[in-house]
Structure 1
Amino acid sequence: MKRLLIAILMVSMVQGVFAQKIEIKGTVRNATDNEATEFVNVVLQTTDSVFVNGVSTNNHGSFIFNKVEAGNYRLVLSSVGYNTQYITLNGVKRNTDLGDILLEDASVALEGVTINGSSQISRPDRKLVFPSERQMKVSTNGVNLLQELMLPRIQVNPMNNEIGISGGGELQIRINGAKADINEIKALRPADIIRIEYHDNPGLRYGNAEIVLDYIVRRPDTGGSFGTDLSQGVNAMWGNYNVFGKVNHKKSEFGLSYYMGPRDFYGMYRDNEETFRLADGNTIQRVEKGEPSHAMLFMQNLNVSYSLQASKNSLFSATFRLRGNNQPNWDYQGVLYNVNDETDMVNMIDRTKNSWTRPSLDLYYQQNLKNKQTLVFNLVGTYNREKSHRIYQESLHNEILTDINNNVLGDKYSLIAEAIYEKQFSKGNALSFGLQHTQSYSNNEYRNGHNYDTRMNQGNSYIFSEYRGKIHKLDYRLGVSLTRFYYNQSGNDKPSEKYNVNPKATLHYTFSENSYLRWKAEVFNTTPSLSDLSAIEQTVDSFQIRRGNPNLKSYMCYRTELTYEWKKGIFYSNLWGAYDYRPNAIMDEKRQEGNKIVQTWDNQKDWQKLSGRLMLRVGPIWDMLQLSFTGGVNHYMSHGNNYSHTYTNWYYEGQASFNYKRFSLFWQINTNWNNFWGETLSGGENIQILGLYYKYKDLRLGVGAFNPFTDNYKVENENWNQFASYKTKSYIKESSRMFLVSLSYNFSFGRKFKATQRKVNNSDNESGVMSTGK
């Protein structure tokens, strides 16, 4: 018995020795100047590339892994602007200090890291999101890979491969820093994606963007890639068809992608309640009872690109983009009833035919200089051409009582030029300057019984400077910009010109690797759109007229927000609150003019919004099963020159993703996020999406359903004006219980070269044409 106890004790001691936890640490320095390098991503893997842990270096360049089991490991160190370093650690049995690890500058080129366990590393200015091996295997492109990651505020619609921000706002999508569109993201192979950089606190150089998603990808020096992504509705004419390809030869890369999206519905209609209080004292209340009608839409996008990396310090790219949208039918029809006398009714049709074409050419050049300096130049030219034809008629017994025929032809030319200088210092400090100028010319023709021709000239200049620094655990970013807005319309002897100074500050305090607190405050200005500035009138219906206002002025926006984030293992939470204040905001208003109601825009008193949001995410079975829930509230206060309104909107969003072997199941629900601006409540979508996918090598098949559990999909909008209010519900019958099938296939060859990083993005997507419909 005594010998048995001794044997058990000895075994326990041996097990204790082998189970001993050790630590691995080191210091990362720049090989050029031997300065400590902070925010380097350090990943600890097993020798077969299974993710163990990940950390970032502190402001002294140091990192440490605690409670590591003895064994064989590989250390991967990577950071933007440096070559990735791999260190093999064989037979680690005791605490290990690796000493100084030197990273070489990578200039324009970036290297990839493969990670087999999902990881997110938070930095003061962005998150580094590394997809797991399982997430890579079940995805076929950059959109459905993003869906698996469930990032805060990012909404992914897997039915049509769309990416948006919960509640709206500007989302910038980039590939290696270069401006990209959704079709280019669809063309990305998950195997080529190193990581996704999620900027929810973008700097001044990103303009008014709320979130920036930057896909960091590998670039081959030979070979290429080709693929297709197809989705088709089973019980409705709804399709998304994509083909894409890239070919690389030494220092050059050629790319081509084409997207086509047809929509053809026969179950679109609307119900509308309107109240008109005319200047003569009469009040008219009427109800529009809609009848199913025709909606047809055809979208096309073409991208042709060329890039040349003549050396590791320089990059040139040229991209031609052609966007097109043809909407031959967007028709409403029904009966208008007088609420006080239901025998008083008329038939109504409201049909709109619209098309626009938008070719653009984007030229980009980047030169990296010594001592971590970068120069960037970007030039984008865009031509917008838009045609619109609207017919609105009210009739009784085949006699037309109201006949409105609006024809609009718009031409807009714009040129965007930008130059940026960036300088990085030791300890992560950085300084940047930038200059951007946008010049727009528009020539619009309006024919609606009157002939209006408008010639408009608009210029926007933007100069900014921003500095990023650090004091112990507190990171800060301070910036200031100067903007100039110029506008002139032919026939107007008083051109408008205004200068504004816009400061911005961010404080980011890191409690630990798992939590931080960030405060941000900014001031920026908003300029009126060319469509609102047009000195023309458009008849809407028998009682309403829409009129532009050439006297609109740009206005200032003040915004502050607070974010707290905590994560631990499979748990993640993000708590966010914000306050917006916009005095003299350009908002809608309506006024009486005889037996007509005139809708226009003006600089109103102010608009305010209080917002709060909580996101919770958990992966009970790590990246096999993930659940995400977001709940929030928006409280709006809209004060016009002649009105005052408040509105509170509660909303929630939920997602669930399950991956097993080659199968993936996805479910998503969104309740209405409603926006209130001026006197208009714009309702969001209340949707559910369910999808099941199977992937075999480079082929992915899927089936899905849009709103599978409801048959009354609708979007609600309201206007609370005292003279002309309305409450509209718009329906598309085919959007309820719509089933889809999808197929994706891609292949590639020869991926060895490192991806390039581009710094700016510019585009002009505004037509400058006033809309005519309700």
Structure 2
Amino acid sequence: MVIDLRKFVAAHICLCFGVFASAEEVADSVRTDELKEVVVEARMQETSPTFTTYTPSAKQKTASQNALDLLRQLAIPQIQINPIDNAVTDNAGGEVAIFINYLPASKEEMEGLRTADVRRVEYLEFPTDPRFRGAKRAVNIVVQEYAYGGYTKLSANENFLVGLSSRANIFSKFSYKRMTYDIFVASNNWNNHHAGSDIESMYTLKNEAGADYTLSRNETTDKIHFRQNQYPVTFRATYNTEKIQIRNTLGFSHSAYPIQSQSGSLEYLPAQADNYTFSRHIPSRSNSLNYSGTFFFALPHDFSINATPQILYTHNNNSLTYAASLAEPIVRNARENAWHYRVDAYINKRFGQSHTLMLGVNGGDIVNRLRYSGSAVYSDRFHNAFAAGLLCYQLKTQKFNLYTDAGFCWEQSDINGIKNTDTYPFVHINLNYSPNSKNALSAYFQYANNTPGINQKASDVLRDNEFMYLTGNPLLDNSRHVTFNLSYTWLPSNKLGLSAYGNFFEMIDRQITAYEPYDNGRALLRTYINNGNYIQSEIGLAANIKLLDGNLQFYVNPKQCFNRSTGMYDKTYNPFQVTAQATYYLKQFYFQAYYQTPQKMMFSNAPITYRPAIFTLLGQDGLTPTGMCG
């Protein structure tokens, strides 16, 4: 799907009120003498072998409505934030976990964060602190804590961005001694008439005489309507001391696409007739209930243990109605019950100030029960269980931080009684060198696995259009991958921050789409096989520059990408991409512009190159301080 994102108009409303209490500062009774003024500029950003610290200015905090807004204002050169889905990654595209005061931060907690309480933001690679629970890369937002009290934050957001998007939420937080309780309720709605895609396809088929011929099918979208509603509710209770952290979270979410329709014209070459049309309607709804826990205990003799159980249940209802001039209508209804549970547990032992050993175990399962009705009737039972163990060693000195782990993982997938078992090793190595607070060099290596899901393994044959059927491959194997990243960070002053990076990724014997004749050659059947390698690499430079006493800020990130596919799809694609952001603070207002060239890419599982539209965002907002009363 290609979405043309060219204009952005947004309005924000944020109200916050609360009562807080903390220890009082005792007045100094000693007589003082007036001294001459000495001006010392505080370091707002500095790096070390284990983390980089950024201190947000008062303007940046006041301009931010939530945690993600604050990260955007900081424009940290080591991370990227997707402007559409708000995903936070490093410059190599790897996941960056978000923590608030050393506890995993949910989307709800990030939305409800009171940015005025933020003291500093830390970016960490393979942190030694066991409270980060084995996260490879993390952002830790350090926030002022209170002995008792709390606040309620009401936020509303209206976006006119290829349609109308509205978001309203209430976040309420209350602390009493060691306990903190919070609740989050939201309503997210999106109504869009301007997103769609045109599809051009080539089919090699057989005619009635059995001879091969090539058919071109061109699908042009004339009308589209997309509406999404989402209503999440989350309750969380946290017990937090220096040696114990316990958090339990319960959540419910209702998500629905009551309208998801597309219609337009069809063209076939060689032409058989004119004025062919198509229509496609795909409404759906989903209800999910989840629980997650966090348990951390610091034990005597520098031992610590932590465990994070997760349980998720989801019920999905989806339907598809497709009609075209040359074919019978396709009606497909899907009803799914899915369970996902997982437990991660680690025990750490620190030896002195430099050495740490960690032993970890992980286990879980994904269970799907899927039923199709309509034009095709199927019933699928799928599960993918795994168990893993790893041993980690970490060395930390004044200038070096070395992290290495190795382990084995056992996996077993079962699709309708057809089982596939795999056991494989995995390795992670990360080295950070920081000679001083302005320079840091990082190198990372990974050998791991890619596991296909139910859509790639289910053997159901589902019709997609007049000439295409879809199925999976129950015997599809896992794929291994290798990753190597290298980065250099330079923070010479508060006015400049640079991060140069290079990344390499190779997926070996990857899963790809393959096509074969179907229905006596009158149609094609798309399935999945293991074939060839997919190689992706890039080099880039991210820079953050502050001018005019920090009132004008620029962020730019150009990068050159290199994509290579081997095997039956032998293809090369090397796009160039740029992301840029400018922010200007004018007293109680700020103005921001965001530009992104098309994020071109080559799919790893198909001979497809993707080129979305240019993304341009223009916005302005007032710096309305968050209020307190009490």
Please give the TM-score of this superposition, normalised by the length of structure 1. 0.71
Residue 468 of structure 1: how far off its partner (Å): 1.5
Aligned with 2:362 (options 428, 436, 442): 436
Residue 242 of structure 1: how far off its partner (Å): 1.5
**Kept after mapping to 1: 8 A contact 2:76/2:544:** no
Moved more, 197-206 or 316-325: 197-206
The aligned residue for residue 560 of structure 2 is 633
Distance in 2 separating the partners of 1:551 and 1:579: 29
The aligned residue for residue 514 of structure 1 is 438
**Structure 1 331/552 Cα, relative in aligned 2: closer, same or farther at 3 Å?**
same
Q: Does 1:299 align with 2:225?
A: no
Q: Could you tell me which amino acid in structure 1 is paired with residue 348 of structure 2?
A: E
Distance in 2 separating the partners of 1:327 and 1:378: 32
Residue 210 of structure 1: how far off its partner (Å): 7.1
The aligned residue for residue 546 of structure 1 is 470
Moved more, 194-203 or 463-472: 194-203
The aligned residue for residue 215 of structure 2 is 284
Q: Secondary structure at the match of 1:282?
A: strand
Q: Does 1:617 align with 2:544?
A: yes
Deviations, residues 507-562 of structure 1 (Å, cap 9, x unaligned) = 22224322222221111112111222222122110011111111112221111111
Q: Could you tell me which amino acid in structure 2 is paired with residue 454 of structure 1?
A: D
Q: Does 1:184 align with 2:109?
A: yes
The aligned residue for residue 484 of structure 2 is 560
**Structure 1 686/462 Cα, relative in aligned 2: closer, same or farther at 3 Å?**
farther
Aligned with 1:170 (options 85, 90, 95): 95
Residue 374 of structure 1: how far off its partner (Å): 1.6
Residue 334 of structure 1: how far off its partner (Å): 0.6
Q: Secondary structure at the match of 2:198?
A: strand
**For 1:391-540, what aligned pairs fall within 5 Å after superposition?**
391-395=321-325, 401-470=327-396, 473-492=399-418, 495-540=419-464
Residue 586 of structure 1: how far off its partner (Å): 1.7
Deviations, residues 256-276 of structure 1 (Å, cap 9, x unaligned) = 012211111234443222221
Q: Secondary structure at the match of 1:619?
A: strand
Distance in 1 separating the partners of 2:151 and 2:549: 31
**Kept after mapping to 1: 8 A contact 2:92/2:503:** no
Q: Does 1:327 align with 2:267?
A: no
The aligned residue for residue 318 of structure 2 is 388
Aligned with 2:243 (options 302, 313, 322): 313
**Structure 1 121/307 Cα, relative in aligned 2: closer, same or farther at 3 Å?**
same
Q: Could you tell me which amino acid in structure 2 is paired with residue 175 of structure 1?
A: I
Distance in 1 separating the partners of 2:615 and 2:576: 15
Distance in 2 separating the partners of 1:447 and 1:125: 54
Distance in 1 separating the partners of 2:128 and 2:560: 26
- Structure 1 unaligned residues grouped into runs of 5+: 1-87, 94-114, 699-745, 750-774
Distance in 2 separating the partners of 1:425 and 1:684: 51
Distance in 2 separating the partners of 1:289 and 1:161: 26
Residue 116 of structure 1: how far off its partner (Å): 9.2
The aligned residue for residue 765 of structure 1 is none
Q: Secondary structure at the match of 2:70?
A: helix
The aligned residue for residue 734 of structure 1 is none
**Structure 1 212/297 Cα, relative in aligned 2: closer, same or farther at 3 Å?**
same
Residue 622 of structure 1: how far off its partner (Å): 4.1
Aligned with 2:57 (options 114, 129, 132): 132
The aligned residue for residue 655 of structure 1 is 581
Q: Secondary structure at the match of 1:191?
A: helix
Moved more, 431-440 or 214-223: 214-223
Q: Secondary structure at the match of 1:577?
A: strand
The aligned residue for residue 148 of structure 1 is 73
Aligned with 2:302 (options 354, 361, 372): 372
**Kept after mapping to 1: 8 A contact 2:56/2:120:** yes
**Kept after mapping to 2: 8 A contact 1:366/1:375:** yes
Residue 442 of structure 1: how far off its partner (Å): 1.4
The aligned residue for residue 18 of structure 2 is none
Distance in 2 separating the partners of 1:379 and 1:250: 26
**For 1:749-768, what aligned pairs fall within 5 Å after superposition?**
none
Q: Does 1:356 align with 2:257?
A: no
**Structure 1 748/463 Cα, relative in aligned 2: closer, same or farther at 3 Å?**
farther
Q: Could you tell me which amino acid in structure 2 is paired with residue 380 of structure 1?
A: Q
**Structure 1 612/502 Cα, relative in aligned 2: closer, same or farther at 3 Å?**
same
Identical-residue share of aligned pairs (%): 17
The aligned residue for residue 594 of structure 2 is 668
Q: Could you tell me which amino acid in structure 2 is paired with residue 300 of structure 1?
A: Y
Residue 345 of structure 1: how far off its partner (Å): 3.6
Distance in 2 separating the partners of 1:529 and 1:209: 24
Distance in 1 separating the partners of 2:428 and 2:234: 35
The aligned residue for residue 197 of structure 1 is 122
Moved more, 424-433 or 410-419: 424-433
Distance in 2 separating the partners of 1:510 and 1:254: 39
The aligned residue for residue 222 of structure 1 is 148
**Structure 1 339/164 Cα, relative in aligned 2: closer, same or farther at 3 Å?**
farther
Distance in 2 separating the partners of 1:428 and 1:119: 27
Distance in 1 separating the partners of 2:511 and 2:200: 26
**Structure 1 126/600 Cα, relative in aligned 2: closer, same or farther at 3 Å?**
farther
Aligned with 1:697 (options 597, 622, 625): 625
Deviations, residues 225-256 of structure 1 (Å, cap 9, x unaligned) = 10111112469532011111011222321110
Residue 168 of structure 1: how far off its partner (Å): 5.0
Aligned with 1:643 (options 527, 544, 569): 569
Residue 294 of structure 1: how far off its partner (Å): 1.5
Residue 457 of structure 1: how far off its partner (Å): 2.2
The aligned residue for residue 9 of structure 2 is none
Q: Could you tell me which amino acid in structure 2 is paired with residue 316 of structure 1?
A: I
The aligned residue for residue 687 of structure 1 is 615
Q: Secondary structure at the match of 1:444?
A: strand
Bigger radius of gyration: 1
Residue 649 of structure 1: how far off its partner (Å): 1.4
**Structure 1 601/443 Cα, relative in aligned 2: closer, same or farther at 3 Å?**
same
Aligned with 1:607 (options 534, 544, 548): 534
Aligned residues: CA RMSD: 2.9
Deviations, residues 411-436 of structure 1 (Å, cap 9, x unaligned) = 11122112111223333432222111
Q: Secondary structure at the match of 1:380?
A: strand
Distance in 2 separating the partners of 1:591 and 1:428: 58
**Structure 1 645/191 Cα, relative in aligned 2: closer, same or farther at 3 Å?**
same
Q: Secondary structure at the match of 1:185?
A: helix
Distance in 2 separating the partners of 1:171 and 1:231: 25
Moved more, 582-591 or 205-214: 205-214
**Kept after mapping to 1: 8 A contact 2:332/2:376:** no
Q: Could you tell me which amino acid in structure 2 is paired with residue 214 of structure 1?
A: N
**Structure 1 207/377 Cα, relative in aligned 2: closer, same or farther at 3 Å?**
closer
Distance in 2 separating the partners of 1:230 and 1:512: 43
**Kept after mapping to 1: 8 A contact 2:354/2:397:** no
Q: Secondary structure at the match of 1:162?
A: coil
Distance in 1 separating the partners of 2:527 and 2:186: 37
